[in-house]
Each structure stands twice: as structure tokens, then as C-alpha cells.
């Protein structure tokens, strides 16, 4: 773990820093455990995963705190003693289990954000999801830890019982799980970034009533389209058609005040000969002898006036103005979907913090593989400090997430 040969002294200031960070990590892990116990909603899988992460941080920090305190007191672990073997086994199991919890949080967050309605995401919400994940994490962490502790000798390495630094197992035991989890976190987060970037989606909604705003926005454009369509219909040459799609009724034809009566012609009577005067009844009922009323009489030689209906005054309707988008109120509670989305996004901070903490350790191990010797002292101290402060960072993230959750929950409540 330390990368130092057994004969190289470890400075006391570094031991003091390790002891302080381990104590703070114990407090951080304990804060996660107590926070879960006092939480009102414990059925969510993400809270249970954070609980598993907090328990692992607490046990790991307690192990490193004990070892560094013994070194500061001048009583380091004896090589291959029962206390040294127990400390080595617990530390290895906690480091690997911590990587497994981080991987589980990453996968659950990825599935809930990108595929919220998939079968995998629904299975994560079942009652058997957390026991199955816990069994897998514990089995994956315990099996290699037992094998390494039984096969290889252990000796004190500045507060942590670990393998001899010149063995291949000491380099691969923690490099493989950390590097694998780091690679998976980077790949899944890149996939999420590309997913939201292509669809132009926002991770955190700035308003709590986005659905209402979208509905109002849709109605506004619908009214605008209706107004433009109405104006086109009124100005179109075919606007004489009625609103129901059928041609409008033609204007009524002005009728004569007295309609001529056509006499019934008897088929047996012979037609009149040329020059013969028609009967009196036919002459009286013909169109030439029909009399009009005084106001309908048109003087001879005058042009007939066109007959038209009186025009009604056109009613001017004001144009339809687009409905303004209402400003979203401030004190509106978030919907369960928005709350779940925001909490899932905040869960992404745990894998990011883990990646940042173990990146230096992975870089140190890569340097050891490349050079075949001791790691750089700066990388050595930095990796130890970051690994020992993992519980502290997780505790701070937990408090930040709980504070944000309470703020979002109480924001929509009316003032008392």
C-alpha cells in the first residue's frame, strides 16, 4: 500500500496527517450511518447504497486510525501477527468493497437518468435489489482478501499491514479494482454527457413547473397559428365559402310582383295560324301585359339599376395577441419526477469524488509498474492522504445532498 521498503522510515508528520484524516473519516462515515437511521424515507435504493458506502468508510477509517495511532505511540504491528493479518484483511476488503459500492452507485445513477422506464431500472427499485447488490459487493471484496492474506506474508507499512513492496501482488491487489471502477465511471459519465448534449436537455431544471410552461408555450403558438390562418382565409378570393366548408348561399333573386300565368294549352285545339290574333286570355296573361308596381317600374330607355342586398357594417375584431408566458412562481414544490432526477444527479458526486481520490493512487501504481522501483514521494504522500480522507469526503457529500433535499422539499411549503 505505502510503496516504501520496510527499512525506509516514515516521517512522523505524515503519520500525524494520516491519523487526523482517519479520525475525520471515522466521523464522516458515522455521519452517514446516523443520517440514514434518522432519515424518514429509507426505501430508496440510493440511500441504501450510500449507507453501504458509509459503513465501509467507517470500518476502513477505523482500521487506519488504529494503525497510525499505534505507530505514533511507537508500537507498530508485528509482522505476520494475528493483529497484523486481521488489519490487512479488513483493509483490503474495505478498499475493494468501497470500489464495488461506487460502481453500483454509478450504474444505478446511469440507468435512472438515461433509461428510467427500463426493466433494469424497475428491478433496482424492488425489495431484493439491495440485498443482492450487498451480497455481490461483500463476496467480491472478501474472496481475494482472504486469498492474499493467507498466501502472502504481511508486515507493517506505516500504520497499515500490507504485502512486501517488491511483490507483484502488492501492486495488483488494489490496482485492478480501482482502475476498473475508474474506467467504468469515466465511460458511463461520458455516455451520460453525450446523451444530454445531443438532446439539448438540462440536468437541473431551473423551474419546478416546466410542464406547465411547456403547455402554455404550446397554446401560445396554437393561437398564433389560428390567427394567421384566419387572416389568410379572410383575404383569400375563395373566402366567400362558408365556415363549414360548403359554398355560401347565393344572394336572393328579386322576383316580379306578379308572376305570369301560363295558360293550359289544349292538345286538341289547333295552333293559331299566322296573322291570327291570339285569344284574349293569352294576351291578358302574357309578360308584355303584366303590370308592375310604381316603385318597380323602369322608364323606357333607362338602364336598369343592379339589384343588391344592403351591406352590413363589418365588425372589426382585434388581432389575437400571443398569450404571455407566466413567470413560474417561486414557492412551488418539485414533482416526484424532478426530485428523483435531481437526487440522482447529486448521486453522481460520489463516483466523481472516488475517481478524483484514487486517480493519484492509480498514477502512483502505474509509475511503479513503469519504473520497477519506489514511487515518487510526492505521489506517495498524496495518494495516502487522499485515500485516508475518503470517508471525510463522502460524509461532506452526504450532508450537502441532505441539505439540498430539505431545501427543495421545504421550498414549496406556504409560510407559517
DSSP 233-268: HHHSGGGGS-TTSSPPPPPPPPPPSSPPPPPPPPTT
Q: DSSP letter for 289, please.
A: G
Q: For residue 30, what pLDDT is reported? A: 94
Domain assignment present for residue 137? The answer is yes
Rounded distance between C-alpha atoms, residue 266 and residue 80, angstroms? 142
Q: Evaluate whether 413 touches 333 at the Cβ level (below 8 Å).
A: yes
Domain assignment present for residue 115? The answer is yes
Instruction: Quote the number of domains for the chain.
Output: 1
The full DSSP string for 313-374 is PPPPPPPPPPPPPPPPPSS-PPPHHHHHHHHHHHHTHHHHHHHHHHHHHHHHHHHHHHHSSP
Rounded distance between C-alpha atoms, residue 6 and residue 156, angstroms? 8
Rounded distance between C-alpha atoms, residue 134 and residue 84, angstroms? 27
Could you report the average pLDDT of every consecutive run of 10 residues in the chain (416 residues)?
Answer: 48 90 94 88 83 94 92 87 90 92 90 84 87 94 90 85 75 81 88 72 45 42 53 51 49 49 49 51 47 48 56 63 58 63 76 83 77 73 86 90 79 52
Q: Evaluate whether 77 touches 153 at the Cβ level (below 8 Å).
A: no
Domain assignment present for residue 239? The answer is no
**403 CB neighbour count, 10 Å cutoff:** 10
Domain assignment present for residue 366? The answer is yes
Residue-number span of the structural domain to which 27 is assigned = 12-204+329-409
Rounded distance between C-alpha atoms, residue 375 and residue 11, angstroms? 16
The cell numbers describing 219, all together, are 397554446
Domain assignment present for residue 66? The answer is yes
Q: For residue 275, what pLDDT is reported? A: 47
Q: Evaluate whether 52 touches 101 at the Cβ level (below 8 Å).
A: yes
Q: For residue 299, what pLDDT is reported? A: 52
Cα–Cα nearest to 158, from 86, 85, 77? 77
Q: For residue 234, what pLDDT is reported? A: 53
Domain assignment present for residue 37? The answer is yes
Tell me phi and psi for residue 394, to 5 degrees.
-65, -35
Domain assignment present for residue 28? The answer is yes
The cell numbers describing 381, all together, are 504522500
The cell numbers describing 90, all together, are 479488513
Cα–Cα nearest to 54, from 331, 376, 394? 394
Helices (H), 73-167: 82-114, 119-124, 129-151
Q: What is the CATH number of the domain that holds 159?
A: 1.20.1070.10
**3-state class of 98 per DSSP?**
helix
Q: For residue 1, what pLDDT is reported? A: 46
**3-state class of 161 per DSSP?**
strand
Q: For residue 330, what pLDDT is reported? A: 57
Say how many residues make up the chain. 416
Domain assignment present for residue 346? The answer is yes
Q: Evaluate whether 108 touches 124 at the Cβ level (below 8 Å).
A: yes
Rounded distance between C-alpha atoms, residue 88 and residue 155, angstroms? 9
Q: For residue 90, what pLDDT is reported? A: 93
The cell numbers describing 213, all together, are 410552461
Q: Evaluate whether 335 touches 361 at the Cβ level (below 8 Å).
A: no
Rounded distance between C-alpha atoms, residue 393 and residue 50, angstroms? 13
Q: For residue 211, what pLDDT is reported? A: 42
Q: For residue 207, what pLDDT is reported? A: 43
Amino acid at each position: 500500500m505505502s510503496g516504501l521498503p520496510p527499512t525506509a522510515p516514515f516521517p512522523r508528520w505524515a503519520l500525524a496527517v494520516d491519523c487526523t484524516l482517519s479520525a475525520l473519516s471515522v466521523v464522516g462515515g458515522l455521519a452517514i450511518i446516523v443520517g440514514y437511521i434518522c432519515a424518514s424515507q429509507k426505501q430508496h435504493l440510493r440511500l441504501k447504497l450510500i449507507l453501504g458506502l458509509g459503513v465501509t468508510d467507517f470500518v476502513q477509517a477505523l482500521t487506519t486510525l488504529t494503525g497510525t495511532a499505534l505507530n505514533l505511540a511507537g508500537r507498530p504491528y508485528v509482522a505476520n501477527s494475528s493483529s497484523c493479518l486481521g488489519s490487512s484483511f479488513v483493509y483490503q476488503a474495505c478498499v475493494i468493497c468501497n470500489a464495488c459500492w461506487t460502481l453500483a452507485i454509478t450504474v444505478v445513477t446511469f440507468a435512472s437518468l438515461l433509461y428510467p422506464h427500463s426493466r433494469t431500472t424497475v428491478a433496482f427499485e424492488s425489495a431484493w435489489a439491495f440485498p443482492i447488490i450487498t451480497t455481490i459487493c461483500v463476496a467480491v471484496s472478501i474472496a481475494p482478501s482472504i486469498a492474499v492474506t493467507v498466501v502472502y506474508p504481511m508486515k507493517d507499512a506505516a500504520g497499515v499491514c500490507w504485502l512486501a513492496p517488491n511483490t507483484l501482488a502488492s501492486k495488483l491487489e488494489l490496482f485492478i479494482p480501482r482502475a476498473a471502477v475508474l474506467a467504468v465511471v469515466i465511460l458511463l459519465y461520458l455516455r451520460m454527457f453525450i446523451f444530454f448534449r445531443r438532446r439539448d436537455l438540462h440536468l437541473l431544471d431551473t423551474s419546478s413547473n416546466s410542464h406547465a410552461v411547456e403547455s402554455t408555450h404550446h397554446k401560445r403558438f396554437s393561437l398564433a397559428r389560428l390567427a394567421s390562418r384566419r387572416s389568410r382565409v379572410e383575404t383569400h378570393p375563395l373566402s366567400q365559402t362558408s365556415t363549414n366548408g360548403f359554398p355560401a348561399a347565393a344572394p336572393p333573386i328579386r322576383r316580379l310582383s306578379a308572376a305570369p300565368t301560363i295558360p293550359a294549352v289544349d292538345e286538341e285545339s289547333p295552333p293559331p295560324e299566322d296573322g291570327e290574333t291570339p285569344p284574349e286570355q293569352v294576351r291578358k296573361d302574357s309578360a308584355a301585359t303584366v303590370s308592375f308596381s310604381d316603385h318597380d317600374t323602369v322608364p323606357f330607355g333607362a338602364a336598369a339599376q343592379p339589384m343588391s342586398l344592403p351591406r352590413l357594417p363589418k365588425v372589426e375584431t382585434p388581432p389575437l395577441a400571443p398569450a404571455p408566458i407566466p413567470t413560474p412562481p417561486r414557492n412551488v414544490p418539485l414533482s416526484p419526477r424532478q426530485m428523483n432526477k435531481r437526487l440522482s444527479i447529486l448521486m453522481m458526486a460520489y463516483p466523481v469524488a472516488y475517481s478524483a481520490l484514487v486517480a493519484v493512487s492509480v498514477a502512483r501504481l502505474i509509475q511503479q509498474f513503469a519504473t520497477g522501483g519506489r514511487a515518487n514521494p510526492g505521489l506517495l504522500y498524496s495518494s495516502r492522504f487522499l485515500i485516508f480522507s475518503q470517508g471525510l469526503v463522502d460524509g461532506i457529500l452526504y450532508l450537502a445532498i441532505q441539505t439540498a433535499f430539505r431545501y427543495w422539499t421545504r421550498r414549496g411549503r406556504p409560510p407559517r
